[in-house]
Amino acid sequence: MPVDEGLALYSAAEEAAALGLPLLEVGTYCGRSTILLAAAAREAGTVAVTVDHHRGSEEQQPGWEYHDASLVDGAVGRMDTLPTFRRTLHAAGLEDHVIAVVGRSPRVAAVWGKPLGLVFVDGGHTDEHAAADYEGWAPHLAPGGLLVIHDVFPDPADGGQAPYRMYRTALASGVFTERSVTRSLRVLQRAA
């Protein structure tokens, strides 16, 4: 995530944290965006919740563009980003402001029961995953809450289309209005 997108995410998190509700992220990976949400949550006295199965997305698997072999757990032969994520949080001094949930996003969403101030979607980038993330988490957003979507590329030449289709679905629902655009990061707001 480039710096300007990170600053836009932090700014949205700051605003949403003022609602006094948890901020939720789908797609922890090694914690880069989590620490932005956690820093905003700390300032407002709320918490950041981050959800990931920690086995990596499609493009992070061996042989794919974003694979990092150092993140493979040799004992089981699969990606495991949880240890690196925990080191990131520890180094940032933000462990007390984050709840890390290890699991598949739709399964966590199905048992979630509390209104959220912000949902940041940066998980799986297939249509199946993006649609499930939107359907699972958007209903948990409080009125006035912010839906932040990463990797929104209107032009297919710039990247995959699933987050863009999620973004279009959210706008077409009539429930969300657009608040800001920073490269591929879109901030939408749920109607009050």
Ligand X SMILES: C[S@@+](CC[C@H](N)C(=O)[O-])C[C@H]1O[C@@H](n2cnc3c(N)ncnc32)[C@H](O)[C@@H]1O
Selected catalytic residue, list 53, 54, 97, 125: 125
For position 67 contacting ligand X by CB under 6 A, the verdict is no
**Is the Cα torsion angle 83, 85, 90, 95 positive or negative in sign?**
negative
Query: Letter for the amino acid at 12?
Result: A
For position 88 contacting ligand X by CB under 6 A, the verdict is no
3-state secondary structure of 40: helix
Cβ of residue 29: shortest distance to ligand X, in angstroms? 4
Query: Letter for the amino acid at 42?
Result: R
Q: Which stretch, 28-36, 41-49, 89-97, 166-174, contacts ligand X (CB under 6 A)?
A: 28-36
Structure tokens at 75: 């004992």
Q: Which stretch, 21-29, 40-48, 90-98, 137-145, contacts ligand X (CB under 6 A)?
A: 21-29
For position 163 contacting ligand X by CB under 6 A, the verdict is no
Q: Say how many Å lie between the first and final Cα of the chain, rounded.
A: 29
For position 186 contacting ligand X by CB under 6 A, the verdict is no
Please work out, in degrees rounded to the nearest 5, the angle formed at the alpha carbon of residue 122 by the alpha carbons of 120 and 128.
Answer: 115
C-beta separation of 150 from 185 below 8 A: yes
For position 123 contacting ligand X by CB under 6 A, the verdict is yes
Of the pair 144, 180, the CB lying nearest ligand X is at: 180
- Three state DSSP letters for 109-159: HHHCCCCEEEEEECCCCCHHHHHHHHHHHHHHEEEEEEEEECCCCCCCCCC
For position 136 contacting ligand X by CB under 6 A, the verdict is no
Q: Which stretch, 15-23, 117-125, 134-142, 160-168, contacts ligand X (CB under 6 A)?
A: 117-125
53 is catalytic: no
Residue whose Cβ sits closest to ligand X: 124
Of positions 129, 130, 141, 185, contacts ligand X by CB under 6 A: 129
Q: Which residues pair with 178 in a beta bridge?
A: 188
Of positions 15, 16, 22, 81, contacts ligand X by CB under 6 A: 81
Cα separation, 5 vs 47, whole angstroms: 21
| Residue numbers at the binding site for ligand X (CB under 6 A) | 1, 27-29, 32-33, 51-57, 81, 104-105, 122-124, 129
Q: Looking at the annotation, which residues are catalytic?
A: 125
